Amino acid sequence: ATCGKGTKERYVSCRDLHGGVADESACSHLLKPPSRNECIVIPCGRWKTHEWTQCSVTCGQGKATRHVSCISYKNQIVSESECDLDDQPLTEQECAMPSCTPRLHGYDRSGQNDHQF
């Protein structure tokens, strides 16, 4: 494979003390190594991130989210397994807005009512 998952194969045989091929029965007491292994060459897709949403709150700590998709090199959306899952960008992050201060209504010293402080 040129990208994504592929298979590596090798010839595994029982060998005698001189390196020659021996009958399989001479190695029956040994664990036979695999002749085929799965491998990943390079991912067939790449991660595409979209804009972060506005913070989920207007004050204090909140969260912002974004959509992340795996796209092929032809810019088509493909399965996430086509991208490097270890390199997947975050889809959620914390965000901090100004602190939430209580709004009190009352009178100021001059007698003006409904003054915010």
Note down pLDDT in tens along the chain; length 117 residues: 577 777 889 999 999 888 899 998 999 899 999 989 887 677 888 999 999 999 999 999 999 999 999 999 889 999 998 888 889 999 999 999 999 887 655 544 555 554 444
What type of residue sits at position 27? C
Q: For position 77, what pLDDT does the model report?
A: 93
The tokens of 80 are what?
């996430």
Torsion sign across C-alpha atoms 22, 23, 24, 27: negative
Q: For position 117, what pLDDT does the model report?
A: 45
Q: For position 113, what pLDDT does the model report?
A: 52
